[in-house]
């Protein structure tokens, strides 16, 4: 069986948000190497299909990563095994196996699910061609690092075995073309247009249009010629690119090692003490604070308050620097990313005051959209004209 997928791939420090063939998959960005399959009893392979991402076990044979059997994402996080994750502010994404392994695993799993959906049976062998847009933090993005990351996907075919209990599906994954761009910059595409290519509308802009008294039919066309200072708050870094229309202004490249991950790292020791654990991974803490019904939620939030304030102040300082550099010639400051949700109560009032002083509008993306802005932007980019032009130029020069 053969498939072709468009992939928008946001490999975050904490979460992996990846849009494959138009479908969003969100998983903790962790994995672990194991020696054997976790299932001893015979289970029907079909029973794995529906929730495959939550019980994903693959064997990877690729020139771009250490070969072996891996638990991926949520299944790894809940396994109790030694986890591989991205060290906040330390690891260079383009050099790591983790983003390569997790991307290959998710693409292969999506292919198996699609084959079952189409044919109502599980294939033994599959072939997947991929066009992909991915991103690196602005502080790590250079011509050299982006080219290196692209080659890790495009260099050769990758062989992924997806384990459905005792049954195996062999998936050959080939990346026809991959483009790696700076994080945050793809968001300009998803701010303006929806999936169908129409001007974006809806509750993503509700607070913004009410705050600034725009008409009821406000849509993404507003941003098509605006100068936007993005503030993409992740776990391990915050990016502050400036875009004008669809252009990324290279003279204003700036990123800093601040984010929710640092606040979590700072709060983790106290949190572990409060819940009587010697140790727990950052991703566990992240899961707890996403769920107000979790029994440890109140304790997690309590330990996080002071560290979050410290990170928010640092981010504000970096925004001030960018505004000074741009002579305050900015129309909108747009804030999003997983860390923006946690920091909202602290950061929004500080930023609103700054924006009002300098005659700038503040678009603080609502929580339900904040995490997926990069993935949606990358998905829009990989399907767009700029990507296809870059791809045909690259093919001609070979």
Residue range 192-221, pLDDT digits in tens? 998 888 999 999 999 999 999 997 889 999
φ, ψ at 186 (rounded to 5°): -65, -15
**Is the CB of residue 372 less than 8 Å from the CB of residue 336?**
no
- What percentage of the chain carries pLDDT values higher than 70? 98
What does each C-alpha distance from 161 to 83, 111, 131, 187, 314 come to in angstroms? Answer: 20, 12, 21, 33, 44
| Tokens of residue 153, six digits | 């996907």
pLDDT digits (tens, 9 = 90+) for 107-138: 999 999 999 999 999 999 999 999 999 998 88
| Dist CA 341 CA 78 (whole Å) | 24
Name the residue ranges covered by the structural domains of the chain: 2-182, 187-375
pLDDT value of residue 182: 87
pLDDT value of residue 291: 87
Q: Quick one: pLDDT band at residue 88, thresholds 50, 70, 90?
A: low
| Dist CA 208 CA 24 (whole Å) | 25
| Dist CA 239 CA 147 (whole Å) | 20
| Dist CA 341 CA 157 (whole Å) | 38
Q: Output DSSP code: residue 47.
A: H
Phi-psi region of 397 (alpha: psi -120 to 50; beta: other; left: phi over 0): alpha
| The architecture CATH gives domain 2-182 | 2-Layer Sandwich (3.30)
| Dist CA 227 CA 162 (whole Å) | 45
For helices 385-397 and 373-382, what crossing angle results, to 10°? Answer: 60
* Half-sphere exposure (Cβ direction) of 210: Cα atoms closer than 13 Å: 7
pLDDT digits (tens, 9 = 90+) for 34-65: 999 998 778 888 999 999 999 999 999 999 99
Report DSSP letters for 12-29, one per residue: -SSEEEEEETTEEEEEES
Superfamily covering domain 187-375: ATPase, nucleotide binding domain (3.30.420.40)
Q: Output DSSP code: residue 236.
A: S
For the chain, give the mean pLDDT. Answer: 92
pLDDT value of residue 90: 62
Q: Same CATH fold, 187-375 and 2-182?
A: yes
pLDDT digits (tens, 9 = 90+) for 318-357: 999 999 999 999 999 999 998 999 899 999 999 999 999 9
pLDDT digits (tens, 9 = 90+) for 244-295: 998 888 888 888 889 888 898 889 989 999 888 888 877 788 889 888 999 9
**Is the CB of residue 6 less than 8 Å from the CB of residue 131?**
yes
Residues with Cβ within 8 Å of residue 369, at least 6 apart in sequence: 204, 336
CA angle 325, 330, 336 (to 5 degrees): 100
């Amino acid at each position: 069986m053969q498939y072709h997928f468009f992939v928008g791939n946001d490999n975050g420090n904490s979460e992996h948000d990846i849009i494959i063939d138009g479908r969003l998959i969100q998983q903790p960005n962790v994995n672990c190497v194991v020696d054997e399959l976790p299932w001893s009893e015979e289970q029907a392979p079909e029973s794995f299909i529906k929730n495959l991402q939550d019980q994903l076990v693959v064997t990877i044979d690729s020139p771009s990563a250490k070969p072996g059997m891996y638990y991926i994402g949520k299944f790894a996080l809940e396994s109790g095994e030694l986890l591989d994750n991205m060290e906040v502010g330390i690891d260079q994404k383009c050099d790591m196996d983790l983003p390569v392994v997790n991307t290959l695993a998710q693409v292969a799993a999506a292919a198996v699910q699609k084959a079952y959906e189409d044919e109502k049976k599980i294939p033994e062998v599959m072939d997947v061609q991929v066009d992909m847009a991915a991103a690196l933090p602005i502080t790590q993005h250079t011509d050299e690092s982006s080219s290196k990351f692209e080659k890790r996907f495009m260099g050769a075919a990758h062989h992924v075995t997806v384990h459905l209990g005792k049954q195996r599906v062999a998936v050959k994954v080939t990346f026809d073309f991959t483009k790696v761009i700076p994080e945050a910059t793809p968001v300009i595409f998803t701010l303006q247009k929806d999936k169908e290519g129409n001007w974006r509308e809806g509750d993503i802009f509700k607070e913004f249009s009410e705050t600034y008294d725009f008409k009821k039919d406000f849509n993404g066309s507003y941003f098509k010629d605006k100068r936007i200072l993005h503030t993409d708050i992740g776990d391990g870094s915050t990016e502050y690119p400036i875009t004008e229309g669809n252009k990324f202004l290279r003279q204003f490249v700036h990123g800093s090692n601040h984010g929710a991950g640092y606040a979590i790292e700072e709060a983790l020791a106290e949190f572990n003490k409060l819940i009587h654990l010697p140790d727990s991974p950052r991703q566990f803490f992240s899961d707890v604070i996403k769920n107000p019904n979790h029994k440890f939620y109140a304790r997690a939030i309590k330990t996080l308050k002071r560290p979050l304030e410290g990170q928010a102040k640092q981010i504000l300082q970096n925004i001030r620097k960018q505004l000074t550099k741009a002579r305050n010639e900015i129309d909108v400051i747009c804030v999003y990313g997983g860390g923006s949700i946690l920091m909202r109560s602290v950061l929004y009032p500080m930023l609103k005051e700054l924006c009002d002083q300098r005659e700038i509008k503040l678009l603080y993306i609502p929580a339900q959209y904040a995490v997926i802005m990069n993935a949606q932007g990358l998905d829009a980019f990989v399907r767009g004209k700029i990507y296809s032009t870059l791809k045909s130029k690259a093919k001609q020069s070979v």
